[in-house]
Chains A and B, each alone.
Chain A
Protein backbone atom coordinates (compact mmCIF):
# COMPACT_ATOMS: atom_id res chain seq x y z
CA UNK A 1 0.00 0.00 0.00
CA UNK A 2 1.36 3.41 -0.93
CA UNK A 3 0.21 7.00 -1.12
CA UNK A 4 1.01 8.85 -4.30
CA UNK A 5 -0.23 11.31 -6.85
CA UNK A 6 -3.24 9.27 -7.96
CA UNK A 7 -4.63 8.94 -4.46
CA UNK A 8 -4.28 12.64 -3.76
CA UNK A 9 -5.87 13.59 -7.07
CA UNK A 10 -8.80 11.26 -6.46
CA UNK A 11 -9.36 12.88 -3.07
CA UNK A 12 -9.05 16.32 -4.63
CA UNK A 13 -11.57 15.42 -7.32
CA UNK A 14 -13.97 14.07 -4.70
CA UNK A 15 -13.64 17.27 -2.68
CA UNK A 16 -14.20 19.38 -5.79
CA UNK A 17 -17.30 17.37 -6.69
CA UNK A 18 -18.75 17.68 -3.20
CA UNK A 19 -18.11 21.42 -3.22
CA UNK A 20 -19.70 21.84 -6.64
CA UNK A 21 -22.65 19.78 -5.44
CA UNK A 22 -23.12 22.07 -2.45
CA UNK A 23 -22.75 25.16 -4.60
CA UNK A 24 -25.18 24.09 -7.30
CA UNK A 25 -27.75 21.88 -5.60
CA UNK A 26 -28.25 23.36 -2.13
CA UNK A 27 -30.48 26.37 -1.60
CA UNK A 28 -28.90 27.61 1.62
CA UNK A 29 -26.44 30.46 1.16
CA UNK A 30 -24.22 29.28 4.03
CA UNK A 31 -23.92 25.81 2.50
CA UNK A 32 -23.16 27.39 -0.88
CA UNK A 33 -20.33 29.37 0.72
CA UNK A 34 -19.00 26.16 2.29
CA UNK A 35 -19.17 24.50 -1.13
CA UNK A 36 -17.14 27.26 -2.76
CA UNK A 37 -14.50 26.96 -0.04
CA UNK A 38 -14.34 23.20 -0.51
CA UNK A 39 -13.72 23.68 -4.24
CA UNK A 40 -10.85 26.09 -3.58
CA UNK A 41 -9.40 23.71 -1.00
CA UNK A 42 -9.58 20.89 -3.55
CA UNK A 43 -7.66 23.03 -6.04
CA UNK A 44 -4.99 23.74 -3.43
CA UNK A 45 -4.77 20.05 -2.59
CA UNK A 46 -4.19 19.20 -6.26
CA UNK A 47 -1.43 21.80 -6.52
CA UNK A 48 0.27 20.42 -3.42
CA UNK A 49 -0.08 16.86 -4.74
CA UNK A 50 1.57 17.75 -8.03
CA UNK A 51 4.29 19.63 -6.19
CA UNK A 52 5.02 16.67 -3.92
CA UNK A 53 4.49 13.67 -6.18
CA UNK A 54 4.38 14.98 -9.75
CA UNK A 55 6.61 16.82 -12.17
CA UNK A 56 6.24 19.97 -10.09
CA UNK A 57 8.51 18.44 -7.48
CA UNK A 58 11.45 19.98 -9.34
CA UNK A 59 10.44 23.16 -7.54
CA UNK A 60 8.06 21.98 -4.84
CA UNK A 61 7.60 25.39 -3.25
CA UNK A 62 5.67 26.65 -6.27
CA UNK A 63 2.75 24.31 -5.65
CA UNK A 64 2.61 25.20 -1.98
CA UNK A 65 2.75 28.89 -2.82
CA UNK A 66 -0.15 28.59 -5.25
CA UNK A 67 -2.14 26.65 -2.65
CA UNK A 68 -1.39 29.44 -0.18
CA UNK A 69 -2.60 32.13 -2.57
CA UNK A 70 -5.71 30.11 -3.43
CA UNK A 71 -6.49 29.87 0.27
CA UNK A 72 -6.10 33.60 0.78
CA UNK A 73 -8.28 34.31 -2.25
CA UNK A 74 -10.88 31.96 -0.79
CA UNK A 75 -10.74 33.68 2.57
CA UNK A 76 -11.27 37.08 0.93
CA UNK A 77 -14.13 35.74 -1.14
CA UNK A 78 -15.69 34.13 1.88
CA UNK A 79 -15.54 37.41 3.80
CA UNK A 80 -17.38 39.22 1.00
CA UNK A 81 -19.86 36.36 0.62
CA UNK A 82 -20.63 36.35 4.34
CA UNK A 83 -21.18 40.11 4.30
CA UNK A 84 -23.51 39.82 1.30
CA UNK A 85 -25.41 37.00 2.98
CA UNK A 86 -25.81 39.14 6.10
CA UNK A 87 -27.13 42.04 4.05
CA UNK A 88 -29.61 39.86 2.17
CA UNK A 89 -30.68 38.15 5.39
CA UNK A 90 -31.43 41.58 6.82
CA UNK A 91 -33.94 42.13 4.02
CA UNK A 92 -35.48 38.67 3.74
CA UNK A 93 -34.97 36.96 7.12
CA UNK A 94 -33.82 33.76 5.48
CA UNK A 95 -30.73 32.10 4.02
CA UNK A 96 -32.73 30.19 1.40
CA UNK A 97 -31.99 31.71 -1.97
CA UNK A 98 -35.40 30.74 -3.39
CA UNK A 99 -36.85 33.50 -1.29
CA UNK A 100 -34.55 36.07 -2.88
CA UNK A 101 -36.35 35.97 -6.21
CA UNK A 102 -38.66 38.66 -4.96
CA UNK A 103 -35.74 41.09 -5.21
CA UNK A 104 -36.17 41.14 -8.99
CA UNK A 105 -39.91 41.83 -8.72
Chain B
Protein backbone atom coordinates (compact mmCIF):
# COMPACT_ATOMS: atom_id res chain seq x y z
CA UNK B 1 0.00 0.00 0.00
CA UNK B 2 2.74 2.40 0.97
CA UNK B 3 4.67 1.73 -2.24
CA UNK B 4 1.48 2.46 -4.16
CA UNK B 5 1.12 5.83 -2.46
CA UNK B 6 4.76 6.60 -3.11
CA UNK B 7 4.42 5.70 -6.76
CA UNK B 8 1.40 8.00 -6.99
CA UNK B 9 3.27 10.81 -5.26
CA UNK B 10 6.34 10.67 -7.44
CA UNK B 11 4.85 12.44 -10.47
CA UNK B 12 3.89 15.38 -8.28
CA UNK B 13 7.49 15.79 -7.15
CA UNK B 14 9.08 15.47 -10.54
CA UNK B 15 10.98 18.46 -11.81
CA UNK B 16 11.53 21.55 -9.70
CA UNK B 17 10.08 24.96 -9.08
CA UNK B 18 10.86 27.61 -11.68
CA UNK B 19 14.21 29.10 -10.86
CA UNK B 20 14.50 32.52 -9.31
CA UNK B 21 15.91 35.37 -11.35
CA UNK B 22 19.66 35.51 -10.78
CA UNK B 23 20.72 37.92 -13.51
CA UNK B 24 22.17 40.69 -11.35
CA UNK B 25 20.94 43.78 -13.27
CA UNK B 26 17.43 42.31 -13.42
CA UNK B 27 17.54 41.41 -9.71
CA UNK B 28 18.71 44.90 -8.82
CA UNK B 29 15.94 46.41 -10.92
CA UNK B 30 13.35 44.19 -9.24
CA UNK B 31 14.59 45.21 -5.80
CA UNK B 32 14.44 48.88 -6.77
CA UNK B 33 10.95 48.47 -8.18
CA UNK B 34 9.70 46.70 -5.06
CA UNK B 35 11.18 49.43 -2.86
CA UNK B 36 9.52 52.03 -5.07
CA UNK B 37 6.20 50.18 -4.90
CA UNK B 38 6.18 49.93 -1.12
CA UNK B 39 7.52 53.45 -0.58
CA UNK B 40 5.11 55.17 -2.92
CA UNK B 41 2.18 53.12 -1.58
CA UNK B 42 3.09 54.27 1.92
CA UNK B 43 3.35 57.84 0.68
CA UNK B 44 -0.06 57.54 -0.97
CA UNK B 45 -1.57 56.60 2.36
CA UNK B 46 0.36 59.02 4.54
CA UNK B 47 0.41 62.23 2.49
CA UNK B 48 -2.18 64.79 3.50
CA UNK B 49 -2.31 66.59 0.16
CA UNK B 50 -4.72 64.49 -1.90
CA UNK B 51 -3.16 65.43 -5.24
CA UNK B 52 0.25 64.25 -4.02
CA UNK B 53 -1.36 61.12 -2.57
CA UNK B 54 -2.94 60.31 -5.93
CA UNK B 55 0.38 60.98 -7.67
CA UNK B 56 2.12 58.56 -5.29
CA UNK B 57 -0.58 55.98 -5.93
CA UNK B 58 -0.06 56.39 -9.67
CA UNK B 59 3.68 55.82 -9.19
CA UNK B 60 2.85 52.61 -7.31
CA UNK B 61 0.65 51.37 -10.14
CA UNK B 62 3.24 52.29 -12.78
CA UNK B 63 6.00 50.55 -10.82
CA UNK B 64 3.82 47.43 -10.53
CA UNK B 65 3.39 47.60 -14.32
CA UNK B 66 7.17 47.72 -14.78
CA UNK B 67 7.51 44.75 -12.43
CA UNK B 68 4.95 42.87 -14.50
CA UNK B 69 7.08 43.61 -17.55
CA UNK B 70 9.86 41.56 -16.00
CA UNK B 71 7.93 38.61 -14.58
CA UNK B 72 4.59 38.44 -16.39
CA UNK B 73 3.17 38.40 -19.93
CA UNK B 74 3.51 41.65 -21.84
CA UNK B 75 -0.27 42.06 -22.10
CA UNK B 76 -0.56 42.36 -18.34
CA UNK B 77 2.12 45.07 -18.30
CA UNK B 78 0.35 47.01 -21.03
CA UNK B 79 -3.07 46.77 -19.38
CA UNK B 80 -1.67 47.64 -15.97
CA UNK B 81 0.14 50.69 -17.31
CA UNK B 82 -2.32 51.98 -19.89
CA UNK B 83 -5.64 51.04 -18.28
CA UNK B 84 -5.40 50.50 -14.55
CA UNK B 85 -2.91 53.28 -13.80
CA UNK B 86 -4.54 55.92 -15.97
CA UNK B 87 -8.11 54.97 -15.07
CA UNK B 88 -7.43 54.93 -11.33
CA UNK B 89 -5.55 58.22 -11.33
CA UNK B 90 -8.04 59.80 -13.73
CA UNK B 91 -11.04 58.78 -11.66
CA UNK B 92 -9.53 60.04 -8.42
CA UNK B 93 -8.36 63.32 -9.95
CA UNK B 94 -11.75 63.70 -11.62
CA UNK B 95 -13.38 63.27 -8.23
CA UNK B 96 -11.22 66.03 -6.80
CA UNK B 97 -11.96 68.28 -9.73
CA UNK B 98 -15.71 67.73 -9.49
CA UNK B 99 -15.57 68.68 -5.84
CA UNK B 100 -13.08 71.22 -4.57
CA UNK B 101 -9.70 69.54 -4.50
CA UNK B 102 -8.23 71.05 -7.64
CA UNK B 103 -8.90 74.18 -9.59
CA UNK B 104 -11.09 73.78 -12.69
CA UNK B 105 -9.54 74.01 -16.11
CA UNK B 106 -9.52 77.39 -17.82
CA UNK B 107 -12.52 78.18 -20.00
CA UNK B 108 -10.59 78.61 -23.22
CA UNK B 109 -9.98 75.24 -24.88
CA UNK B 110 -6.66 76.43 -26.31
CA UNK B 111 -5.14 78.16 -23.32
CA UNK B 112 -1.34 78.45 -23.10
CA UNK B 113 -1.33 75.98 -20.19
CA UNK B 114 -3.17 73.41 -22.28
CA UNK B 115 -0.85 73.85 -25.26
CA UNK B 116 2.21 73.57 -23.03
CA UNK B 117 0.78 70.48 -21.35
CA UNK B 118 0.00 68.80 -24.66
CA UNK B 119 3.52 69.60 -25.91
CA UNK B 120 5.16 68.18 -22.80
CA UNK B 121 2.91 65.11 -22.89
CA UNK B 122 3.66 64.48 -26.55
CA UNK B 123 7.38 64.84 -25.95
CA UNK B 124 7.22 62.38 -23.05
CA UNK B 125 5.17 59.95 -25.12
CA UNK B 126 7.71 60.17 -27.94
CA UNK B 127 10.53 59.60 -25.46
CA UNK B 128 8.78 56.55 -24.02
CA UNK B 129 8.17 55.25 -27.54
CA UNK B 130 11.83 55.62 -28.46
CA UNK B 131 12.94 53.93 -25.22
CA UNK B 132 10.48 51.06 -25.64
CA UNK B 133 11.46 50.45 -29.24
CA UNK B 134 15.20 50.74 -28.62
CA UNK B 135 15.48 48.74 -25.39
CA UNK B 136 16.04 45.02 -25.15
CA UNK B 137 13.74 44.45 -22.19
CA UNK B 138 14.92 41.97 -19.56
CA UNK B 139 11.71 39.98 -19.86
CA UNK B 140 13.41 38.04 -22.63
CA UNK B 141 16.49 37.45 -20.50
CA UNK B 142 14.69 36.39 -17.35
CA UNK B 143 12.53 33.89 -19.19
CA UNK B 144 9.16 35.47 -18.54
CA UNK B 145 6.24 33.95 -20.38
CA UNK B 146 5.15 36.52 -22.87
CA UNK B 147 3.02 34.38 -25.12
CA UNK B 148 -0.43 32.97 -24.93
CA UNK B 149 -2.24 35.23 -22.46
CA UNK B 150 -4.40 36.68 -25.20
CA UNK B 151 -5.12 33.18 -26.44
CA UNK B 152 -6.01 32.04 -22.93
CA UNK B 153 -8.38 34.96 -22.49
CA UNK B 154 -10.03 34.26 -25.82
CA UNK B 155 -10.37 30.51 -25.30
CA UNK B 156 -10.12 29.47 -21.67
CA UNK B 157 -11.62 32.54 -19.99
CA UNK B 158 -14.39 33.56 -22.36
CA UNK B 159 -17.05 33.48 -19.66
CA UNK B 160 -14.85 35.44 -17.25
CA UNK B 161 -14.17 38.08 -19.89
CA UNK B 162 -17.89 38.35 -20.59
CA UNK B 163 -18.60 38.74 -16.87
CA UNK B 164 -15.93 41.44 -16.63
CA UNK B 165 -17.45 43.29 -19.57
CA UNK B 166 -20.91 43.19 -17.98
CA UNK B 167 -19.47 44.25 -14.64
CA UNK B 168 -17.58 47.19 -16.11
CA UNK B 169 -20.60 48.27 -18.11
CA UNK B 170 -22.71 48.13 -14.94
CA UNK B 171 -20.08 50.13 -13.08
CA UNK B 172 -20.02 52.77 -15.83
CA UNK B 173 -23.82 52.97 -15.84
CA UNK B 174 -23.95 53.17 -12.05
CA UNK B 175 -21.30 55.88 -11.98
CA UNK B 176 -23.16 57.92 -14.58
CA UNK B 177 -26.43 57.56 -12.68
CA UNK B 178 -24.88 58.43 -9.33
CA UNK B 179 -23.14 61.53 -10.60
CA UNK B 180 -26.03 62.73 -12.73
CA UNK B 181 -27.10 66.16 -11.52
CA UNK B 182 -30.64 65.67 -12.82
CA UNK B 183 -31.13 62.47 -10.81
CA UNK B 184 -29.63 64.08 -7.75
CA UNK B 185 -32.14 66.93 -8.01
CA UNK B 186 -35.00 64.45 -8.43
CA UNK B 187 -33.98 62.55 -5.29
CA UNK B 188 -33.46 65.70 -3.26
CA UNK B 189 -37.07 66.77 -3.79
Contact = CB atoms under 8 A, between A and B. Distances in A.
A87 B178 contact: yes
Contacts of B95: 30, 82, 85-86
Size bracket, chain A contacts = 35 or more
B53 to A, nearest CB: 6
B50 to A, nearest CB: 5
Contacts of B172: 79
Q: Interface on chain A toward B: helix, strand, loop, or mixed SS?
A: helix
Contacts of B61: 37, 41
Interface in A2-45: 2-5, 7-8, 11, 14-15, 18-19, 21-22, 26, 28, 30-31, 33-35, 37-38, 41, 44-45
Interface stretch (B3-11, B69-77, B126-134): B69-77
Given A2-B22, A64-B149, A71-B84, A34 B44 contact: yes
Contacts of A55: 17
B184 A87 contact: yes
A90 B64 contact: no
Contacts of A87: 178-179, 184
14 contacts: A1-B24, A7-B34, A8-B34, A8-B71, A14-B38, A30-B54, A34-B57, A53-B20, A64-B75, A64-B145, A64-B149, A67-B76, A74-B84, A80-B178
Given A64-B145, A69-B160, A82-B94, 6 more contacts: A7-B34, A15-B38, A48-B71, A52-B71, A68-B75, A71-B80
Contacts of A60: 73, 145
Contacts of A21: 45
Contacts of A26: 45
Interface of A: 1-5, 7-8, 11, 14-15, 18-19, 21-22, 26, 28, 30-31, 33-35, 37-38, 41, 44-45, 48-49, 51-55, 57, 60-65, 67-69, 71-80, 82-87, 89-90, 93, 95
B174 interface: yes
B171 A77 contact: yes
Contacts, number: 188
Nearest to A71: B84
